[in-house]
Amino acid sequence: MNKDELKKYTVSIKTTIYEALNLVDQNSRQMAILVDQDQCIIGVITDGDIRRAILKGIPLDSPIINVVNRNPLIGGKNEPKKALISRMQDRSVSFIPLVNDENKFEDIVFLSDLLNISRKNNSIIIMAGGKGTRLGELTKNCPKPMLKIGSKPILETIITHLSLFGFHDFHISVNYLKEQIMDYFEDGEKMGVKISYLHEKKPLGTAGALANFEPQNSEPVVVMNGDIYTDMDFSALIDIHKSNNAAATVCLRKYDCQIPYGVVRTNNRQITTIEEKPVLSYFVNAGIYTFDSMILKMIPKNTYYPMTKFLDKLLKNGNPVYSHEIEGIWIDIGRHDDFKNASQIATMGI
């Protein structure tokens, strides 16, 4: 950015909350950098910080320094692009101010710009209301999507990965220990996304909570379980869904099952073939879907409704339902071995 552009994102110690609010409303990124008279960074401020200050009753004529984040992520002007991307992804932030060799504010870079990402208007619905009983003690006091793989909760890893493709509108279905999820993510502003919540007053199954979703536009909606660890390309999923003019696209994963015995085939009691411990391959539901936003209105409200029942209804009605195979990393974190495997992969940075 040139100096004139940077002024749109810069506030001083004398700036009031009201003045900062006007500035972040006017610039396209809804954030600002607080600098001192020597152009050294004091902290950063976002529209979310300001909203929380207003809700706490802090007067609008108070200095912005009272609500600024004094411990922001800061990069060097000559720091490699790859290092900046890695640091922003690790901290789940969408921007980083840069300083020169004299530690003075000189520029801002945004993750979406570095990755050349265009913002997408598709809503993402993440199902995170289940109890995760198969994981036993691990989920006794923690909702499964909040279990950490590597250094981050599963749910944060999901949101971070999706944001890399330009998705920014997230809706999380919550029920079991929902306060832990809502307190951690709040409105998503810290991650540079927007998060709202679909509250399940009672368990509604794998599709029932979708009846509470109000589409924001006519774009396809991505729905996924909150315990999936994957590196799949979600932009490609949207493109495939649109190209097929589908009502629903179901992501599949190839699952191999080895028979632990020799399999014998016969014809009129005469043996025709013997195959030792053959491996059979099946496609299984991967827990990730794309739906036409209007099709979700077919789901009854306040009713326990499994996803399989919804998909079966679409098929019986003649709605076009397509599949998309996931070929990269995909782990359904439902068992201890799956959780351990995902944790190891995340730790390795894969």
82 carries an active-site annotation: no
Of 145, 310, 139, give the one whose Cα is nearest residue 211: 310
Reported as half-sphere exposure (CB side, CA atoms, 13 A), residue 146 has a value of 22
- Can you tell me the distance from the alpha carbon of 206 to that of 173, in angstroms, rounded to the nearest whole number? 10
- List Cβ neighbours of 304 (8 Å cut-off, separation of 6 or more): 202, 203, 204, 205, 208
SS3 sequence of 145-181: HHCEECCEEHHHHHHHHHHCCCEEEEEEEECCCHHHH
At how many degrees (to 10) do helices 47-55 and 17-26 cross? 140
As to burial, measured by CB atoms within 10 angstroms (0-12 exposed, 13-18 middle, 19+ buried), residue 206 is buried
Q: 202, 254, 277, 340: which one is catalytic?
A: 277
Element (H, E) at 311: helix 307-316
Nearest 5°: the CA angle 29, 47, 97 is 50
Per-residue tokens: 306: 């499994």
Residues with active-site annotation: 277
